[in-house]
Structure 1
Amino acid sequence: MNEFLERANELKDELIENRRYLHQHPEIRDDLPITAGFVKEKLKEMGIEPVEISKCGIVGLIGEKKEGKTVLLRADMDGLDMTEESGLPFSSKTPYAHCCGHDLHTAMLLGAAKMLKEREDELKGTVKLMFQPGEEYFIGSKAMIEAGVLENPKVDVAVDMHMNAKNPVGTVAICKGYTCASCDGMKLTVKGKGCHGAWPHNGIDPINVAAHTYLSLQELIARETPPELMATLTFGQFAGGTSANIIPEQVIMQGTMRTFDKDLRAKLKKRVHEVVEYSAKTFGAETEYEVLSDVPSLVTDPELLDIMNEYVKDLDVEFIPYPPSSASDDFARITELVPSVFYSIGCKPYGDVPLYPAHNPKIIFNEDALPIGAAIHAQCALNYLKNH
């Protein structure tokens, strides 16, 4: 058996214990005092000095050698603003929930850190650990990049992974090129002029304006997006008015636009602003546009993926295709700046346990995947530094 996988299996009880503690104490955004404190304490126990470079954004170095390259290993730590319904005996004790697997990501990276620290003398360069807050709100990676996570030492390549509860344990799903979609979140405040419904000519109906805006925006997907390219434009909030016979002052619309292609994204962003502006002008209204998120598409570097896969196959995992996903991850900001790989780790529950997608309050992850993820992180880092 591969040495890292063998060691990770020896550490399995510790990996599970760490994961379950994190699972019971989820926090959201970049307000992670319990989670960040736990990670820092564990790193100190390993002999790794944690540095909080941004709010709850933690970095640790292993090797710290001036010669050689630097590999970044990333894990996101934040939970979701929802109530867990898994029924697990170690369910969340807070109003939040780890229903996306970030507790497993953090536990796996802690496991990899321990194994790499144990073999620090073998490293031919530096491993940089990135424990990131705020992924679910797309704020964490940007803050850590601005705080210098990719510098001192300069990062050459990066590795990230995510859990996939629909694929069996032992499988690793991979995708070359565009892997996760961009996400441009928007809040539109359509401002009209309120009046009584009996005399609509005395006002400017923001519901009417918002409806025309919504339909016009959908035409960007139906008529301006090439059929061979993917794009979605979804509005999850359309709110305005409190009475059947009163035209309100304003309507709120909130939504997201997602695509893979960089040029198409730029074109659609420009067209969204134009449609929003001129739809409002057509009816004598105004619309304020607020950016809620601006995450690029996540790109897996094909050449680097081939290199890392040569190391990972020594773990006897089964590579399976990972179709490009319209979901988004702010690791994308890292992939814009350094060659990166993204692994989707199979963690399907055994037996007849119902399967749920990420962000479902009933989702269950198979903890047997923890040693595999930890070993992949460690195997990629040590071997990349050894061979480069």
Structure 2
Amino acid sequence: MNIFMKRANELKEELVQTRRELHSIPEIMTELPLTTKYVKEKLVEIGLEPKEIIKSGLVATIGGKKPGKTILLRADMDALDMREESGLDFASKTQYAHTCGHDLHTTILLGAAKMLKEREDEIEGTVKLMFQPGEEYFIGAKAMIDAGVLENPKVDAALGMHVMLNGPVGSIGYQHGYTLSSVDGFKITIKGKGCHGAMPEKGIDPINVGVHIYLALQELISREVSAFDNAIITLGQFAAGTVANIIPDTCVLQGTMRTYGKELREYLLNRMQEVIDLTCKTYRASFEYEVLSDVPSLYTNPELLDEMLGYIDEMGEDFTLIKDSRATPTDDFAFISERIPSAHFQFNCKVQDERGAFPQHHPKVVFDENVLPIGAAVNAQCAFNWLKNNK
């Protein structure tokens, strides 16, 4: 058995306990005092010297005793602003919930860190660990990049991950090229002129304008995007008015646009602005456009990915590797993939009974903890061997 897989299986009970302790203390955005303290203490126990380079953003290094390059391993630590309803014995003790799986990511990276530290004298270069807050709000990765996570030592390659519920434990998804979608969140405030509902000619109805904008944005997808491309525009909020017989002054639409690749993203963003502007002018309204999020598509470097797949194959484990696993969610690891050759894996962990009926971000979602040693072993295997073969 592969040395890292063997050791990860020996650590399984410890990994499960760590995950459950993290699962019970979820926190959001960059306000992760309990999580940060817990992870910092675990890293110190391993023998590392973690540094908090931004609020709740930890960095530690392993190796450096032998010359070589630097590879970054990253885990996000934040949770979601929702109540947990899983019924687990170790369910959240706070008002938040780890319904995306970031507690598993953190545990996986802690496990990989422990195994790599145990073999530190053999590491030919440096492994940099990145424990990140604020992924769910797309603010953590960029803040850590600005704080220098990719420097001192300079990072040469990066490995990201996400647990998914697309299959059982032991199946690992991957995608060459654009892997996860971009996201452009927006808020449109349409400004009309309120009036009595019995005399609409005396006002400018922002709801009417909003309806036309809503339909026109959907038609961008159905009529201006090729069937061979992927794009989604979702309007999750349409809010206006308080009573039945008054036309309000304003109407608010909030939504997201997701796609892959720079050209289509730029085209749709420009067309959205044109549609909103011209529709408002047609109906005599004005508008304000606010950017809520701005994250590129996560790009997996094909050459780096193939190399990492080779290291996974060398483990000799009975993993099911699922290619073409492009997914529509967004991950701000994309900001790293813009700057550094990166690879990204999806570790499936769907529970194979009635409990597995719920998706991620659902208050009742559960994850199969048997993924923990696999994720830890794959991260350690890839980092160790990439450094060995890329001096």
Partner of 2:52: 52
- Give the deviation of 1:355 after TM superposition: 2.6
CA distance, structure 2, for counterparts of residue 351 and residue 281 of structure 1: 54
1:110 matches 2:103 = no
The C-alpha deviation readout for 1:328-349, integer Å capped at 9, x for no partner, is 1111111111111111112122
SS of corresponding position for 2:179 = strand
Q: Letter of the aligned partner of 2:64 in structure 1? A: E
Residue identity over aligned pairs, in percent, reads 60
Match status 1:330 vs 2:313: no
| Structure-1 residue corresponding to 2:320 | 318
What residue number does 2:84 align with?
Answer: 84
Distance 1:322 1:106 in 2: 25
Alpha carbon RMSD of aligned pairs, Å?
Answer: 1.2
Q: CA deviation at 1:352?
A: 4.4
In the alignment, structure 1 residue 383 sits paired with structure 2 residue 388? no
How far 1:351 moved relative to its partner? 4.1
Is 1:253 the counterpart of 2:246? The answer is no
1:149-298 correspondence to structure 2 within 5 Å: 149-298=149-298
Match of 1:357 in 2: 359
- The TM-score normalised by the length of structure 1 is 0.97
**Contact 1:51/1:58, CA 8 A, preserved across alignment:** yes
* Partner in structure 2 of residue 73 of structure 1: 73
Q: How many residues align?
A: 388
**CA-to-partner distance for each residue in 1:300-335, whole Å, 9 max, x for gaps?**
111111111111123312212343111111111111
Moved more, 61-70 or 24-33: 61-70
Instruction: State the one-letter code of the partner of 2:40.
Output: K
Q: Tell whether the 8 Å contact from 2:64 to 2:124 is kept in structure 1 after alignment.
A: no
Deviation at 1:82, TM superposition (A): 1.1
Letter in 1 for 2:380: A
Query: Pick from 335, 342, 345: which aligns with 2:344?
Result: 342
Following TM superposition, by how much is the alpha carbon of 1:141 offset from its aligned partner in structure 2, in angstroms?
0.7
Instruction: Give 5+ residue unaligned stretches, structure 2.
Output: none
Deviations 1:196-221 (A, max 9, x none): 11111221111011111111222211
Aligned residue identity for 1:17: Q
- Partner Cα distance (1:249, 1:127) in 2: 56
Q: d(CA) in 2 for partners of 1:76 and 1:355? A: 25
Deviation at 1:291, TM superposition (A): 0.5
**SS of the residue aligned with 2:322?**
strand
Does structure 2 conserve the Cα–Cα contact (< 8 Å) formed by 1:173 and 1:319? Answer: yes
User: Tell me, what secondary structure is at the counterpart of 1:241?
Assistant: coil
8 Å CA contact 1:181, 1:298 repeated in 2: yes
**Taking structure 2 as the reference length, what is the TM-score of the superposition?**
0.97
Q: How much does 1:95 deviate?
A: 1.0
Give the secondary structure class of the aligned counterpart of 1:74.
Answer: strand
The structure-2 alpha-carbon separation of the partners of 1:66 and 1:153, relative to structure 1 and needing over 3 Å to count, comes to farther
